[in-house]
Amino acid sequence: MTTEKIPYKIYLSEDEMPQNWYNVRADMKNKPAPLLNPATGAPMTFEDLRSVFCDELIRQELDNNTRHIPIPQDIRDFYKMYRPSPLVRAYCLEEKLQTPAKIYYKFEGNNTSGSHKLNSAIAQAYYAKRQGLKGVTTETGAGQWGTALSMACSYLDLDCKVYMVKVSYEQKPFRREVMRTYGASVTPSPSMETEVGRKILAEHPGTSGSLGCAISEAVEAAGANPDYRYVLGSVLNQVMLHQSVIGLEAKAALDKYQVVPDIIIGCAGGGSNLGGLIAPFMGEKLRGEQDYQFIAVEPASCPSLTRGRFAYDFCDTGKVCPLAKMYTLGSGFMPSANHAGGLRYHGMSPILSQLYQDGYMKAISLEQTRVFQAAEEFARVEGILPAPESSHAICAAMDEAMKCKETGEEKTILFGLTGTGYFDMVAYEKFHNGEMADYIPTDAELEASFAALPKL
Amino acid sequence: MTTEKIPYKIYLSEDEMPQNWYNVRADMKNKPAPLLNPATGAPMTFEDLRSVFCDELIRQELDNNTRHIPIPQDIRDFYKMYRPSPLVRAYCLEEKLQTPAKIYYKFEGNNTSGSHKLNSAIAQAYYAKRQGLKGVTTETGAGQWGTALSMACSYLDLDCKVYMVKVSYEQKPFRREVMRTYGASVTPSPSMETEVGRKILAEHPGTSGSLGCAISEAVEAAGANPDYRYVLGSVLNQVMLHQSVIGLEAKAALDKYQVVPDIIIGCAGGGSNLGGLIAPFMGEKLRGEQDYQFIAVEPASCPSLTRGRFAYDFCDTGKVCPLAKMYTLGSGFMPSANHAGGLRYHGMSPILSQLYQDGYMKAISLEQTRVFQAAEEFARVEGILPAPESSHAICAAMDEAMKCKETGEEKTILFGLTGTGYFDMVAYEKFHNGEMADYIPTDAELEASFAALPKL
């Protein structure tokens, strides 16, 4: 390994960008379990899914065997507007920590959506457009996914209807305005526009909404119009597929300098970033070509992998979506107001859940005040102001680097820096003012939530 | 010129990054006029300036002859954290406009400060640190400069005291929190901490402050402590020097593909971005090697070049700073609440003023609603959400591209995209809601302001 010539940032040329997504399922011995129809308990078929998703995305969702799936030229052209994203050698952080570890991070925040979400947003919008659809619906909590989808739809001249959790709609007016800049219609959820929204408002007047409710509204709105489909920013197999571009680029950049990471770390909410970052490395591990240590980092307030059950569960609180087999805290679990909104999901990608179940990766959970400490330390030496979600990975990477300092090991650590925190300054302000609290659900709370898991 | 192989984004390798700043004054026949001591009317000497600026920066400020000034290795290392910045070929914008023009932009917004200001912030902080000083003071209006300086000082472990115009302090709490994240102390101005602040508060209780007042407070605070100096983000010759890195990188990237721009466009407030972008191109023009058309774009609400006087004037409203010969609207001119806060300055860089006076560049002014229309159109096709300041250049570039469409000319246009608009969503919201107004000062208003120009 030649470390001397490694620049601060490794960029690929456009020629070196991936031409195919990598489908890790092709290399999994134990495939992720199929989605089930909640009414019949039978696996969801292509036909079952057609009213919700567009056709090509269903094919990708159900395809457990094709290893490489070509990225259409139009999507590759869009990627060129903000990709390849830099792979950064964290020289300044290494020096600050005085660690012998070599730290790299793949930075996905240098686009206007502020995160990696754009990688799948453009793919989902593209296939919807190619099918002749008029628009798509979705939900957004923290707002990164909604912003990404707005950008993709604007580029393709596709309608974009976003149901934004009401509390976020009110507390994050700037996120809302970015989406409006990109021509999206943004509705606070619950709304009077859908049956499920009216029902919830009648039962809970004045509710500030939840992601589960917003999903239900978005799915209902898509179903009500044959020219619309519903799209989702995480959890699904298709999303992991699209996000593999993160890992493929990272691996190509490291390969240029013959660098092989020992540890690969990503934050985990629904799994879109982690699944994408580790995909090609996990493929090598599954095929027995190379060993890597993978670490999923989740908030202690929403510990799906570390404290959840591996079971079939609803993907949404409103129980209108199919059942997925995954690590879950129960679809009724209400995460506390953790500021990493993108990690407040009760479940986890079925692919990652299966890999975790099979022992291919480990998971840890972190409390948010520690995470913000790491975020601030990182920002001051590396310049980038990280999103709270991403900061979970930063904190874990710094912990691993400090372990190397103790043992003297020169491990190579790669982590995913999924996005920037420009729209999270309220959380940073609370942290600065000492007003940030940690919250860990009790065993009793989790048991109560598990009791509501569907019986199959 | 080979256009086929030009990628969406041209990156330089770290080896190709500039090793020297370019000092355009060395190639100017008519040098910018010296700063004058307001008490005596005599040119400010090295000794006169030592209580305000650190020594090396005074040398740079006064050096009209050294063409290339080495960038210290430590600054080059810091630059590597966020530079080289991409030179983008605006393929999507060209297609949207259906223009035969080739459009390029140098994007300086992909760092946490959100703008090009970091290029000079790190240089000024570095020289202060090297001189053994403890800290620096400055003012900030829109907040980009304050953020950049906070980042630079945090990196170098230097105290950073920012006087933030009170109205911005209150309306832009997120900007303030970013600065706090980087360890800066942020004080709303006018404050009770300085004599000038107390005086203004006594005379105008409840005032929401102004940039002029904040400058006066920052200068006073620096002067009161021998371990501190005052730093400024624009206007000064030293700032133009540091910002030449923008133009040097842009030129190196274009040279790689044998592209020669016909028109080079930048927004102009104090001139830091425009001066930096055009520097090496202007050098070629001054030396008679190549002709270029340069366009400075300013807001119609604050039209220093297009409607100002070329005269000696105070750099600040409080009249504590030296006199500079520049295009000015008068130091008492109060720009309306134009949302491009970074362009609300009554004067203009003495270097750019002299070049404009000598006919080397032209200037235009634009009204802000037109600018926001262009910003939104640009964001939708190019993905980047531009700052209001930068959007002045975008709008002018689009206008030039549309002229090409009429004439069929395949001109090559280069413009500076100085930063992102993540902290300007209040302005975008006003635009979306149709609540944004244009304002153009009347001739009578300007005449009244000119009447107060100092008599020398």
Give the Cα separation of A356 and B115 in Å (integer): 42
Q: How far apart are CA B357 and CA B349, in angstroms?
A: 12
Q: What is the pLDDT of residue B4?
A: 58
Best B75, B159, B385, B423 member to test A by mutation, with max A CBs in 10 Å, is: B385
- pLDDT tens-place string over residues A34-66: 999 988 999 999 999 998 999 999 999 999 999
pLDDT at A1: 44
Strand B20-22 to A159-165 pairing? unpaired
Residue B16 to residue B174: CA distance in whole angstroms:
36
State the average pLDDT over residues B208-235.
91
Could you give the C-alpha distances from B35 to A8, A240, B43, B227, in angstroms and in order? 40, 60, 6, 24
Between residues B401 and B1, the one the model is more confident about: B401
* pLDDT digit string, tens, across residues B158-205: 999 999 988 888 878 889 999 999 999 999 999 999 998 999 899 888
Residues of B whose CB is below 8 A from A9:
14, 80
pLDDT tens track for B370-384: 999 999 999 999 999
- Asked if residue B305 lies in contact with residue B329, where contact means CB atoms within 8 angstroms, the answer is no
Yes or no: say if B389 and B343 are a contact pair by the CB < 8 Å rule.
yes
Cα gap B294→B107, rounded to integer Å:
18
Spatial distance between the Cα atoms of A41 and A456, rounded to a whole number of angstroms: 7
Tens of pLDDT, residues B258-286: 999 999 999 999 999 999 999 999 999 99
- Name the residue facing B383 among A111, A180, A422 (closest C-beta): A111
**% of chain A surpassing 90 pLDDT:** 83
Q: Touching check for A159 and chain B: CB below 8 Å? A: no
Please tell me the predicted confidence (pLDDT) of residue A4.
Answer: 58
For residue A198, give Cα distances in angstroms to A205, A314, A315, A334, B250. 10, 21, 21, 21, 55
pLDDT of residue B22: 98
What residues of chain B lie within 8 A of the CB of A171, using their CB? none
Classify residue A157 as left (phi > 0), alpha (psi -120 to 50) or beta: left
Parallel, antiparallel or unpaired: strands B293-299 and B263-267: parallel
- CA dist A169 and B130 (Å) reads 47
Residue B98: its H or E element: none
The half-sphere exposure of A54 on its side-chain side, counting CA atoms within 13 A, is 21
Task: State mean pLDDT over B428-437.
Answer: 92
Question: For B181, which of A7, A426, A428 is closest by C-beta distance?
Answer: A428
Q: How far is B376 from chain A (nearest CA, A)?
A: 6
pLDDT at A231 > cutoff 60:
yes
> Is the predicted pLDDT of residue A403 greater than 70, yes or no?
yes
CA distance B443 to B269: 20
ipTM of this predicted structure: 0.90
**Cα distance between residue B260 and residue B258, in whole Å:** 6
Q: What is the pTM of this model?
A: 0.93
Best of B9, B93, B433 to mutate (most A CBs within 10 Å, chain A): B9
Nearest Cα to Cα of residue A348 among A366, A371, A324:
A324
Indicate the burial class of B161 (C-beta count within 10 angstroms; 0-12, 13-18, 19 or more).
buried
User: In whole angstroms, what separates CA A246 from the centre of its chain?
Assistant: 12
CA distance A91 to chain B (A): 9
Q: For residue A91, name the pLDDT band (cuts at 50, 70, 90).
A: very high
Question: What are B58-107's pLDDT values in tens digits?
Answer: 999 999 999 999 999 999 999 999 999 999 999 999 999 999 999 999 99
Supply B42's token pair. Answer: 């005599």
8 Å CB contact between A287 and A27: yes
Q: Is B110 on the interface with A (CB under 8 A)?
A: yes
Given a cut of 70, is residue A407 above it in pLDDT? yes
* pLDDT mean across residues, chain A: 94
Nearest to A174 among B9, B110, B425 (CB): B425
Q: Under an 8 A CB cutoff, do B81 and A376 touch?
A: no
Q: Look at strands B159-165 and B135-140 and give their pairing.
A: parallel
What is the maximum alpha-carbon separation in chain A?
A: 65
Rounded CA-CA distance A111/A122 in Å is: 13
Q: Where are the beta strands (DSSP E) in B111-150?
A: 135-140
Q: Any chain A CB within 8 A of the CB of B379? A: yes
- All residues of chain A having their beta carbon less than 8 Å from the beta carbon of residue B80 are 7-9
Residue numbers in B near A170 (CB within 8 A): none
B143: closest CA among B119, B120, B165? B165
- Do B308 and B329 contact (CB within 8 A), yes or no? yes
* A318 contacts A304 by C-beta, under 8 angstroms: no
